[in-house]
Amino acid sequence: MEDVLESKDFHFAREEERVMELWDQLDAFHEQEKRTRGMPEYVFYDGPPFATGLPHYGHILAGTIKDVVTRYATTTGHHVVRRFGWDCHGLPVEYEIDQKLGIKSKEDVYEMGIDKYNEECRSIVMRYSKEWEKTIKRVGRWIDFENDYKTLDPTFMESVWWVFQQLFQKGLVYKGFKVMPYSTACCTPLSNFEAGQNYKDVSDPAVMVSFPIVGDPENASFVAWTTTPWTLPSNLALCVNPEFTYVRVKDPAKGNIYVVAEARLSAIPGAVPKKKGKKDAGDAPAGFELLAKVKGSELAGTRYTPLFGYYTYLGTAFRVVADGYVTDDSGTGVVHCAPAFGEDDYRVCLQGGIIEKGGELPNPVDDSGRFTQQVSDFVGRQVKEADKDIIAMLKTMDRLVDSASIVHSYPFCWRSDTPLIYKAVPSWFVRVETIKERLLKNNSETYWVPNFVKEKRFHNWLENAHDWAVSRSRFWGTPIPIWASEDGEEVVCIGSVAELEELSGQKVGDLHRHFVDQITIPSKRGKGELRRVEDVFDCWFESGSMPYAQQHYPFENKEFFESNFPADFIAEGLDQTRGWFYTLMVLSTALFDKPPFKNLICNGLVLAADGKKMSKRLKNYPDPVELIHDIGADALRLYLCNSPVVRAEPLRFQRKGVSDVVKDVFLPWYNAYRFLVQNALRLEAAGLKPFNINDVDLSKVSNVLDRWILISSNSLVEFVRQEMDGYRLYTVMPYLVKFIDSLTNVYVRYNRKRLKGKTDEADCRASLATLYSVIMTLCKVMTPFTPFFVESMFQNLRHCKPYEPESVHFCSFPVATPSTEMEKRIELSVNRMQKVIELARIIRDRHAKPVKTPLRELTVVHPDDDFLSDLVGDLREYVTEEINVRTISSCNDPSKFANVRAEPEWASLGKRLGKDMGRVAKAVKGMGESDISMFESSGSISLEGHVLCTGDIKVVRDFKQPAGTSSEEIDAAGDGDVLVVLDLVPDESLIMAGLAREMVNRIQKMRKAAGLTITDKVDIYHEQLKEGPLDAIISSQIEYLEASLGTSVRPFSAKAADVEPLAVEEHVIGDAIHVKFILTTASKDGIPKATLESEVSNLNMDGH
């Protein structure tokens, strides 16, 4: 292995760039794909983004999730085809061109020419593709850009035609009207998904309007409320709730009689008397007079006088209909219906016979949102701008009951940022409602992370799904392949290029509108030429078709597709429950009655640090390219995978969070790796045989911590496999952090003497081989998550294993072996040992006894004899050194040092026991020592008619002060499982040892500050500056000092005059020993024979 930089000099981001160069040299991604050919296929679908904008954190997040899962699949013996996809059609592209060319309407496009317009669109669809490729590669995602798919490719478009023809032939396609969110700025309808992307709080007019009842003897009027006055010229009906009670009331001031819902009477100004105060007693209006009450169902069919005369010729209009969608939480309980401008309006008017399917639908608003000639009073006016004038006209007509304003959440166009309207548009539909039960069944067969998105959000969306409008009256998209006669009676749906060529007699290349609109098909019924309908597909239909279209199914790859459908895995954001996830599910169910995927990870939204949406304009988030350049892609990947966002929850993105991954994960991991490399190289530098991993049989290592860290490494492999098989990415990092802490702060820290060769050579090589094996395993386990960092380490580690593949990403994922009972015992004992050390430190801190101060005895109290045997046996050396105690004793009878009591685990028992909890809790607290002992040995006990098991009762051991002692002499700490008792009485010899330990610590820090390496030999001299017991300390602790420092500490007078010092520092040892230490280059006679080399701690893990 080659030496590596200190962590302060190691730059993770620059190292990642070097790794990228290596991958390019190896052609690593394609090489990995080649090596896995012939293995079982793992099918992954990549949802296509638009390339008209730059990638943001949402894209990086989804891409990281996809890369982690597909890398893992590859390392576990699968062949994974990873093709990048591009969404090339639709509104985002057209909007860009409209802005560029000043296109305001469809007429502008026709004037320009569809061919020129579409070619302008084609010219920008891949505008940022290189930036996308660069960013995605820099994040470490391996995906094929050369063999990508584009929704504008003729092969893709042909498969989309095939999909539609299949639906058409199954009777799942029809033409109708659909009231849809509509962008007047973009002159196009939007999907509900798109409409939900940009809601804003706005102030709109809120008016109450009277509708006189035809033939009413008292000239009564219905009062309806609306926040869209511009829809009133198109009013055709009023709707009431059949279950509500409606009242007929009289305004005594004006003599007007109104009909409104009883529950909403208070909304009418002056209808309900105000509570009288002292000042205005007798002056307050009395309110409206109640004349009668009637059920809403009785009002159905009542005719009323229309507001305007634009549609008076419609004999079926201007009647009251009844429907349960009318609520009593706002308005008057009477809803004005304009069927062309409201989804519910359209539905209830159709059900009530106000309009008919295929009949006239009054729709006096053009594509750009302006009134047509039908509404002569406001012709040419933009509808939202006409609100004020309509209200003014209502006032002059004496039909305005009240005019106010309301602040509410309203949808805006996600492209133009202008208010949307709801508008009926002719559309081609896919019948979703008829396959709803199959959709729900297929959804139940899929696995989602998190599950609640599938069971709640997506299930509810499917349960309430309506027929899907799949057409758009636009230009740049896949043309709907329907050719029809002029009267619409002869319709042909084309499913392939070959079919169109055969029926038309013309050669077909490109399938866009400007190539196929001119193609006609001779009628078979004598109706002349069949011409293509003008519409194109909604781009969501195209993306929902991608499983088939990316492979040009069924025209190519038929066998491969059919044997590998559905996909094993997809992943996108929470917003796609109503987008891509939905369209995939609808089409796969309609085509094959199967779900389109088996497993899905749904991520949440990445927000700015303040919880707001990330905004380029506000610059409220760190630039992703700069962040990766500064900190690194691996840190970003791990930060995202460890966040709530991979559980479909929002993430408030913070740069500090990415930096913390470096600090908390990568630096400790790197330091352990560097410690291995340094000490492996030290062997050769000391003239010994170079380190060779094959010299040690790790299955036969005897050191308990060697065995423990190998067992822990095996547990890590098992855990990561288990969690990755369950697609739970977010559980891996917490376990990884815990493992790295165990590796650095337990294994390396406790074994530093062995690793540095301070015991014997064979023991040193065993510990180095163990550490090597664990770090190599860790690299292979973490390849999916941190591909750069593990590659960097692997390239150095493989010098010891030249038979390993050229890249860590060509390696298989490690396989865990089942744990034996002995291994489980070792793992438990070492975990308990760590708890013992932690508790002993708590006692030291409580009494201000630093670790450098040696203590006489530590007693561990626990009923498990195996653990106590391990602690005073194999683990004794580690505990005595870490706690700095002279002896360790054990006690398996807790009653000698503790009073034992039982406490109920409220969280475990509360829900289960309910009202019995009080009685059971009292019984638990009343358990005696014998009861507790029996419970601990058997694992269960019956109390008050309930069987309580492990986890239901907490056994607490409270320290019992030994007779004749104080807490200043003997103190204890416990965690309910282990009790640690520490003798705090000072001892002269222990004090001397503590001061010697402090001397070693100061000298080691001098070495580090002087930039000395492990192999740099020095002589150490001391000069006492004040009277003190320095000589006594050195003479009594000479063996410890020489073993720790690699040389004796000699008086300054022994230093040769011509030797220049390497470092000189003054120190205070203890409270009273003032001394100056001088380090010089070692003379030949200055190195004790007993020591091979000096010990230096230039890693933070060396804590003393």
Catalytic residues: 48, 87, 540, 576, 580, 613, 616
CA-to-CA separations, 205 to 165, 180, 306, 388, 391, in angstroms, rounded: 46, 22, 21, 8, 9
Radius of gyration of the chain from its Cα atoms, rounded to whole angstroms: 40
CA-to-CA separations, 495 to 3, 168, 556, 624, in angstroms, rounded: 64, 10, 14, 43
Within 8 A by CB and 6+ apart from 34, the residues are: none
DSSP 341: S
d(Cα 1035, Cα 379) in Å, to the nearest integer? 108
Residues 430 and 471: beta-carbon distance below 8 Å: no
Residue 863 carries which side chain, given as an amino acid letter?
A: P
The alpha helices in 955-1053, defined as continuous H runs, are 988-1009, 1030-1036, 1038-1045
d(Cα 183, Cα 188) in Å, to the nearest integer? 6
Q: How many CB atoms lie under 10 A from the CB of residue 507?
A: 9
Strand partners, 409: 201
Dihedral class, residue 593 (left if φ above 0, else alpha if ψ from -120 to 50, else beta): left
Residues 521 and 499: beta-carbon distance below 8 Å: no
d(Cα 703, Cα 769) in Å, to the nearest integer? 12
Residues 251 and 288: beta-carbon distance below 8 Å: yes
3 state SS of 640: helix
DSSP character string of 455-476: IIIIHHHHHT---EE-EES-SS
**Could you tell me which of 856, 907, 850, 906 has the C-alpha nearest to residue 880?**
856
3 state SS of 566: coil
3 state SS of 500: helix
Joined tokens for residue 662: 């470096």
**Could you tell me which of 229, 221, 283, 276 has the C-alpha nearest to residue 254?**
221
Residues 947 and 913: beta-carbon distance below 8 Å: no
d(Cα 998, Cα 942) in Å, to the nearest integer? 55
DSSP 373: T
Residues 774 and 753: beta-carbon distance below 8 Å: no
Within 8 A by CB and 6+ apart from 498, the residues are: none
Q: How many CB atoms lie under 10 A from the CB of residue 74?
A: 25
Residues 653 and 606: beta-carbon distance below 8 Å: yes
Residues 652 and 610: beta-carbon distance below 8 Å: yes
Strand partners, 744: none
d(Cα 554, Cα 548) in Å, to the nearest integer? 7
Joined tokens for residue 720: 């990561």
Burial of 444 (0-12, 13-18, 19+ CB in 10 A): exposed
Q: What share of the chain is helix, strand, coil (3-state, %, to 5)?
A: 45, 20, 35
d(Cα 80, Cα 71) in Å, to the nearest integer? 8
Residue 822 carries which side chain, given as an amino acid letter?
A: M
d(Cα 236, Cα 319) in Å, to the nearest integer? 8
Residues 711 and 752: beta-carbon distance below 8 Å: no
3 state SS of 16: helix
d(Cα 299, Cα 792) in Å, to the nearest integer? 78
